[in-house]
Structure 1
Amino acid sequence: MNPISRRELIKRLKTLGFSGPYSGGRHSFMKRGPLKVRVPNPHVGDIGISLLKEILRQADISEDEWNNAR
């Protein structure tokens, strides 16, 4: 697993069945059924590995699923 851009994160989440991103409060979010996952705001640089792992945990996505969603 490597750091990833926000654009690539959104692209892969869509591949895994999420819709969005939708604006909401301080962060946008993506949905799959009743599940909502917050997406980091655009900023300089990539999303680090630790934050990516936390997003995947909240989205109930395994590393294998993530790596195969390209």
Structure 2
Amino acid sequence: MVRLPVLTGYALLKVLQRHGFLLLRQKGSHVFVESANGKCGTTIPIYRGEELGKGLLKSILNDLDLDTEDLDIMLHS
């Protein structure tokens, strides 16, 4: 089992965009991303300088049908 990395919302957004997720809309400091096939999407908070909590990061990954191994592969590719 891979440990969850410590990421800001902005860093997570950039990693997801590099791997085909689309930024659909933004309202204030929250962005909505969706997979390229349109099957799953979620909202990511983008707070300047603040890291995402572990529970929130797990919830975002769940909403996007990803697990910690998938995120680890995305971060290191």
TM range (shorter): 0.7 to 0.9
Residue 52 of structure 1 pairs with residue 57 of structure 2: yes
1:53 Cα shift? 0.5
Show the counterpart of 1:38.
43
Q: What's the CA shift string for 1:4-38, capped at 9, x where partnerless?
A: 11221001111332011521588320111232211
Task: Give the ranges of 4+ consecutive aligned residues of structure 1 lying more than 6 Å apart after TM superposition.
Answer: none
In 1, distance between residues paired with 2:60 and 2:32? 11
Structure 1: gaps (5+ residues)? none
Out of 56, 66, 72, the position equivalent to 1:61 is 66
Instruction: Count residues in correspondence.
Output: 70
Deviates more, 1:45-54 or 1:8-17: 8-17
In 2, distance between residues paired with 1:45 and 1:28? 15
Out of 6, 24, 39, the position equivalent to 1:3 is 6
CA RMSD, Structure 1 to Structure 2 (Å): 2.1
After TM superposition, the score normalised by the length of structure 2 is 0.73
SS at the partner of 1:23? strand
